[in-house]
Amino acid sequence: MSNEPITLAQALTTFDALWSPRVVTRVNDYDVRIAKVEGEHVWHVHDDTDEFFLVLSGELHIALREPDGERTVRLGQGAVFTVPRGTEHRPSSAAGASILMFEPTGTPSVGDRHDAIPAHVDATTGHLLGE
């Protein structure tokens, strides 16, 4: 981890991989991760933690399976949303987006329970920036 300021726009230029989050810093026991996304992720659940999303650019859709049915949350640039723990969800972006996520260190990007992982999705706990 760097002890120098990090410009998110610059950090996003250091990698091209989609659905492959980079850890830009840590706050206590939480990772601050950035990712480039396009297309669909996988339906997944984080059993023990919420998942925070901030859209840095583009538009992100998050499909949610809730007790009373399925719905989709649409997030534009600058919008934030927290998926509650235990909620099955699938992020997607038709035209591509850059996002920031905040979650406990070691949290798998495909959750604790998930559908089959497609080849374009990196099952990781986050790569250090520069990897």
22-65 tens-digit pLDDT: 999 999 999 999 999 999 999 999 999 999 999 999 999 999 99
Domain boundary assignment for the chain: 8-128
Other residues' Cβ atoms within 10 Å of the Cβ of residue 46: 24
Q: Which of 1, 14, 28, 19 is nearest to 103 (CA)?
A: 28
What's the alpha-carbon Rg for the chain, to the nearest Å?
14
Tell me which fold the domain 8-128 belongs to: Jelly Rolls (2.60.120)
Q: What percent of the chain has pLDDT over 70?
A: 99
Whole-model pTM over 0.85: yes
- Measured CA to CA in angstroms, residue 87 lies from 82, 97, 112 at distances of 10, 22, 11
Q: How far apart are CA 69 and CA 54, in angstroms?
A: 24
